[in-house]
Chain A
Amino acid sequence: MAIALNKLDKILKGREGSSFELIEVLQDIQRDYRYLPEEVLRIVSEKLSVPLIEVFKVANFYKAFTLKPRGKHLITVCMGTACHVRGAPKFLDEVLGQLKVKPGETTEDGEFTVETVNCLGACALGPLVVLDGKYCDHMTTAKLRVLIQEVRGNAKKK
């Protein structure tokens, strides 16, 4: 699969050789490509003059970066203590069962990626599920089901 590199040219413009901008560049790539493709990272390493292993290390270190393609929609289930006692594992099971994936995986149609997070720091809102950056507070299984269906429905309409 060839990857469109024009987006990368835009990201790298004016940043050649500035190794200190590695994380910013990776963030931009993550935003535009929704993951960090290997070919792109190889070019980044060359252009920013950062050793490839360094790029690989940083990409592996931060949870915000992923080396596998992410789905169009990201569902993050908070598994923090406060959310846990209010039933977070149940919601995770619900999401995983509905989408038939494991945590960190993407559905076959490339629509959803499910991730867990240890705490979002918004314990008062728990149990918390984040859908594409939108915080869905006081989650219930029923609400969650509706939420997933809504997103699915929107995707179909498009």
Chain B
Amino acid sequence: MSEYVTLTINGAKVKAPRGSSVLDAALDYGICIPHLCHMRDLTPIGACRLCIVEVVTNGKSKVTASCTLDVQEGMVILAHTEKILKARKNIAEMLVAQAPNSRAIQDIALKCGVKQVRYPFRNDNCVLCGRCVRACTEIWQSKSLGFVGRGKERHVALPFDKRPEFCKRCNACIDLCPMTITPCPGPMKKGEEALCGLCESQLSMAQDMQDSCVDCRLGEGFDCVRKKP
């Protein structure tokens, strides 16, 4: 029997099994905390930082990623304060600058309230969320993929950049990648990257209801007016 703890998220009392993460607890209760790298069955690595929340202890608050934060009895979590929304918007902005060629990331950025990207577009086609690496290692036990290099050289690679014979060709790495679905107008070439922000309804929703749900199911975004038939 698992033991339960009670914590407060955005003022709501939430019961969660001990050992689960704050993000999972919030999602179970329908409190949406945007997230990208998180997947329920994989070890959290806190790579995307979208799921940041404020943890209040003794009147002081600390900002931390909720996917790597274990629930504790009496914890007070604030997921949609002004401070958090501002920081999260900035993080989403950086993610979209890093990899604009993803509908999932474009959607998340838009819904986090990003209206313009102040950073130069890198168009690296990878945000190092590690979903592929973790799925390959943990679910499929294949260990064909990994992070290679350090600092800004860090990237996902196959050993010796060749597909190893023990790769099970399950394609989980591709299925789980947020880059698989390109933005509605099609892939963006270097130099013509843009924020896919022409969907007025979404924009006004992000503006008027700042803590509205960010649908984080990858790629299953809204229909975009710029979509090519």
A33-62 interface bits toward B, Cβ cutoff 8 Å, 1 = contact, 0 = none? 000001001000000000111111100110
**Inter-chain contact A53/B150, CB cutoff 8 Å:** no
B91-116 interface bits toward A, Cβ cutoff 8 Å, 1 = contact, 0 = none? 00000000000000000000000000
**Inter-chain contact B150/A56, CB cutoff 8 Å:** no
| Most chain B beta-carbon neighbours within 10 Å: one of A51, A52, A53, A57 | A53
In the assembled complex, how far is the CB of residue B167 from the closest CB belonging to chain A, in whole angstroms?
Answer: 10
| Most chain B beta-carbon neighbours within 10 Å: one of A41, A57, A60, A61 | A60
Cβ contacts under 8 Å, A57 to chain B: 146-148
Check B144 for interface membership: any CB of A closer than 8 A: yes
**Closest chain B residue to A67, Cβ basis:** B160
B125-166 interface bits toward A, Cβ cutoff 8 Å, 1 = contact, 0 = none? 000000000000000000111111110000001111000100
**Closest chain A residue to B149, Cβ basis:** A60
In the assembled complex, how far is the CB of residue A82 from the closest CB belonging to chain B, in whole angstroms?
Answer: 23
- How many inter-chain residue pairs (CB < 8 Å) link A and B? 28
In the assembled complex, how far is the CB of residue B43 from the closest CB belonging to chain A, in whole angstroms?
Answer: 16
Rounded to whole angstroms, the CA-CA distance of A54 and B158 in the bound complex is: 10
Interface residues of A in 51-91 (CB under 8 A from B): 51-57, 60-61
**Inter-chain contact A56/B146, CB cutoff 8 Å:** yes
In the assembled complex, how far is the CB of residue A2 from the closest CB belonging to chain B, in whole angstroms?
Answer: 18
**Inter-chain contact A53/B145, CB cutoff 8 Å:** yes
Rounded to whole angstroms, the CA-CA distance of A54 and B148 in the bound complex is: 9
**Inter-chain contact A61/B149, CB cutoff 8 Å:** yes
**Closest chain B residue to A55, Cβ basis:** B159
Cβ contacts under 8 Å, A53 to chain B: 143-146, 148, 158-159
Cβ contacts under 8 Å, A41 to chain B: 160
Cβ contacts under 8 Å, A51 to chain B: 143
**Closest chain B residue to A56, Cβ basis:** B159
**Inter-chain contact B159/A52, CB cutoff 8 Å:** yes
**Inter-chain contact B146/A54, CB cutoff 8 Å:** yes
Cβ contacts under 8 Å, A56 to chain B: 146, 148, 157, 159-160
Rounded to whole angstroms, the CA-CA distance of A51 and B157 in the bound complex is: 14
| Most chain A beta-carbon neighbours within 10 Å: one of B145, B160, B164 | B160
Q: Told that A51-B143, A53-B144, A53-B159 touch, could you supply 19 new A-B pairs with CB distance under 8 A? A: A41-B160, A52-B143, A52-B159, A52-B164, A53-B143, A53-B145, A53-B146, A53-B148, A54-B143, A54-B146, A55-B159, A56-B148, A56-B159, A57-B146, A57-B147, A57-B148, A60-B149, A61-B149, A61-B150
Question: Residues of B at under 8 Å CB distance from A?
Answer: 143-150, 157-160, 164
5 A-B Cβ contacts within 8 A? Answer: A53-B145, A53-B146, A53-B158, A57-B148, A60-B149
Q: Which 10 A-B pairs have the closest CB atoms?
A: A53-B146, A51-B143, A56-B159, A52-B159, A60-B148, A53-B159, A57-B146, A38-B160, A60-B149, A57-B148
